[in-house]
Amino acid sequence: MYSGNPGQRAEPEHHDLSRRYRDVRRLSLAIAAPLSDADSCLQPMPDASPAKWHLAHTTWFFETFLLRDHVAGYRLFDESWAYLFNSYYEAEGDRHARGRRGMISRPSLDEIRAYRGAVDEALLGAIDDLPADLIALGLNHEQQHQELMLMDLTAAFAENPLYPALWESRPRPPSALASPIQWIAGREGVAEIGHEGVGFGFDCERPRHKLYLQPHALADRNVTNAQWLGFIADGGYANPLLWLADGWTWLQENRIGAPLYWVGGEAGWSRFGLDGLTPLDLAEPVCHISYYEADAYARWAGARLPTEGEWETKAAGHDPAGGNQLDQAGPARPRASPQGAGPRDLFGNVWEWTGSAYLPYPGFTPAKGAVGEYNGKFMCSQMVLRGGCCATPRGHVRASYRNFYYPHQRWMFSGLRLARDS
């Protein structure tokens, strides 16, 4: 679901890489720390993967593309595990079916932790002789899987009718309702988007290129739960005139009537997360919605979704490490947008659906070798999301970062910001 290219050196000094490597790898283990062996095997749907598989796959990535390929005499921890923990790299041979990963009860969670420890020791011992750009790719890849772990664990625990909490819930007073949306003019005319080549960037963010922006405006904040309740109350899920044809078919076939993880109804809604079932906070940005839902809401509101060019040119002057992002292991949930002048929450809280298809930029070329499978082959039938979310490790995203999912998917932390023509 995520992709990359080792084209840039994000960490030129190896001692900085060693520190960052330890920090990133430690966070993955911390996310998995509360899990039992049974918890770590859960796979609630084919799109998701067990936590144990995430821990092993990210380790396989370092072992395969760094230790095996760049350390003379290195012996694989277990040669049979490449079949279990390869994801979609055709160049690396056959692999276990994605939808059957939940059947891998063995090796155990403790054995996977031992695997991680052995690979970490070998890599750190050889780090001075390893390509820093490839290590940076592996670390960014693991950060993507940290977010995926939190997404997939939420989906897994939501299948339990007791709605158990993985982390203790911290009671919070209800947030003040968000102020009315304000419209902020966007850039017009010729503009540039894409990675500028300084620091790490995935291949799908390049090359930087020009585009033309028509007059438009963006909302100063994300759409909230309170606003979404208005959409529901007005029959938004029952009005075919608001929906794309594929979206209406998806809606009917799956009997969708509210965002994913909403529990209850007109008498009162709660929302499930990794801190359990809690009352719906009306001021929080709506989360866990599909592209179809975001598009229908925008049409109901008399607006549209922004293009990724509109979004990126507005976000370029804002701090990508700001906002509600992941700093430590925990339940990771959106929170009410801060008050003040906008635009707010361009980074963090929820991924924002755009109206742009996930396609290659003009002049795009994938990386050579197996890591070139990371991105380009997914540029079909998916839509772009921007900005990161509450489960995105802080420091991982930037204005040019392109996330992508299929229009029907919604187990990720996805929301929306409105746009309109001026």
Report DSSP letters for 16-35, one per residue: HHHHHHHHHHHHHHHHHTT-
- Rounded to 5 degrees, φ, ψ at 405 are -145, 160
Q: Are residues 47 and 190 in the same domain?
A: no
pLDDT class for 368, splitting at 50, 70, 90?
A: confident
Q: Average pLDDT in the 243-266 region?
A: 97
The answer as to whether 400 is a domain residue is yes
Question: Averaging pLDDT over each range in 6-15, 213-222, 371-380, which range is the top one?
Answer: 213-222
Residue 9 lies in a domain: no
Spatial separation of the C-alpha atoms in residues 113 and 364, rounded to whole Å: 38
Task: Among 142, 158, 174, give the residue marking a domain's end.
Answer: 158
Query: Quick one: pLDDT band at residue 176, thresholds 50, 70, 90?
Result: confident
Indicate which CATH number applies to the domain containing 290: 3.90.1580.10
Give a yes or no: residue 177 inside a domain: no
Q: Give a yes or no: residue 83 inside a domain.
A: yes
Q: What is the mean pLDDT of residues 76-91?
A: 92
User: Mean pLDDT throughout 270-292?
Assistant: 96
Count Cβ atoms within 10 A of the Cβ of residue 195 and give its class: 0-12 exposed, 13-18 middle, 19 or more buried: buried
Cα distance between residue 299 and residue 170, in whole Å: 36
Q: What percent of the chain has pLDDT over 70?
A: 95
Contact (CB, 8 A) for 5 and 137: yes
Reference 181, options 418, 420, 422; nearest CA is: 418
Strand partners, 211: 191
Out of 13-22, 58-67, 109-118, 133-142, which region has the weakest mean confidence (pLDDT)?
13-22
Domain stops at, among 158, 175, 197 = 158
Same domain, 198 and 144: no
Q: Is residue 275 scored above 80 in pLDDT?
A: yes
Same domain, 152 and 187: no
Q: Across-strand partners of 386?
A: 352
Per-residue HEC secondary structure of 84-144 comes to HHCCCCHHHCCCCCHHHHHHCCCCCHHHHHHHHHHHHHHHHHHHHHCCHHHHHHHHHHHHH
Q: Residue 321's CB: how many other CB atoms inside 10 A?
A: 14
Instruction: Return all residues near 243 (Cβ < 8 A) that are at least 6 apart.
Output: 251, 292, 295, 296
Mean pLDDT computed over 404-412: 98
Asked whether residue 216 falls in the same domain as residue 338, the answer is: yes
Going from the C-alpha of 51 to that of each of 57, 94, 148, 216, 333, the distances in angstroms are 10, 21, 9, 42, 18
Residues 188 and 327 in one domain: yes
Residue 98 has pLDDT above 60, yes or no: yes
State the angle between helix axes of 14-32 and 51-62 in degrees (0 to 180), rounded to the nearest 10: 160
Same domain? For 189 and 225 the reply is: yes
For residue 173, being part of any structural domain is answered with: no
How does pLDDT run across 338-362, given as a tens digit for each residue?
A: 888 889 999 999 999 999 999 999 9
- The verdict on 263 and 334 lying in the same domain is yes
Give every strand in the sheet of 419-421, ordered side by side: 183-185, 216-219, 419-421
Q: Report the C-alpha gap between 55 and 159 in whole angstroms.
A: 22
Same domain for 204 and 321? yes
280/339 same-domain check:
yes
**Are residue 220 and residue 154 in the same domain, yes or no?**
no
| Residue 170, pLDDT above cutoff 50 | yes
| 132 inside domain | yes
Highest averaged pLDDT of the listed ranges 88-102, 147-161, 193-207: 147-161
Q: Hey, what are 38's tokens?
A: 């049974």
- Tokens representing 70? 């760049």
Question: 220 and 135 share a domain?
Answer: no
- Domain final position from 109, 142, 158: 158
**Quick one: which H or E segment has residue 265?**
strand 262-265
Q: What are φ and ψ of residue 194, in 5° steps?
A: 115, 165
Q: Are 267 and 381 in contact (CB under 8 A)?
A: no
Give residue 15's pLDDT. 67
Taking the C-alpha atoms of residue 245 and residue 318, their distance in angstroms, rounded to an integer, is: 36
Q: Are 76 and 115 in contact (CB under 8 A)?
A: no
Structural domain contains residue 86: yes
Query: With bands split at pLDDT 50, 70 and 90, how would you rate the model's confidence at 10?
Result: very low
Q: What is the pTM of this model?
A: 0.94
pLDDT at 1: 35
**Number of domain units in the chain:** 2
**Cα 220 to chain centroid, rounded:** 22
| Token couple for 87 | 């994801």
Question: By the 8 A CB rule, do 414 and 350 touch?
Answer: yes
Q: Are 333 and 190 contained in the same domain?
A: yes
Is the residue at 3 inside a domain? no
How far apart CA 158 and CA 171 sit, in angstroms, is 20
Q: Is the pLDDT of residue 28 over 70?
A: yes
pLDDT given for residue 13 in this prediction = 54
CA distances from 394 to 66, 96, 228, 322, 323 (A): 25, 32, 28, 8, 9
What is the span of the domain harbouring residue 301?
A: 183-421
Phi, then psi, of 270 in degrees rounded to 5: -120, 165
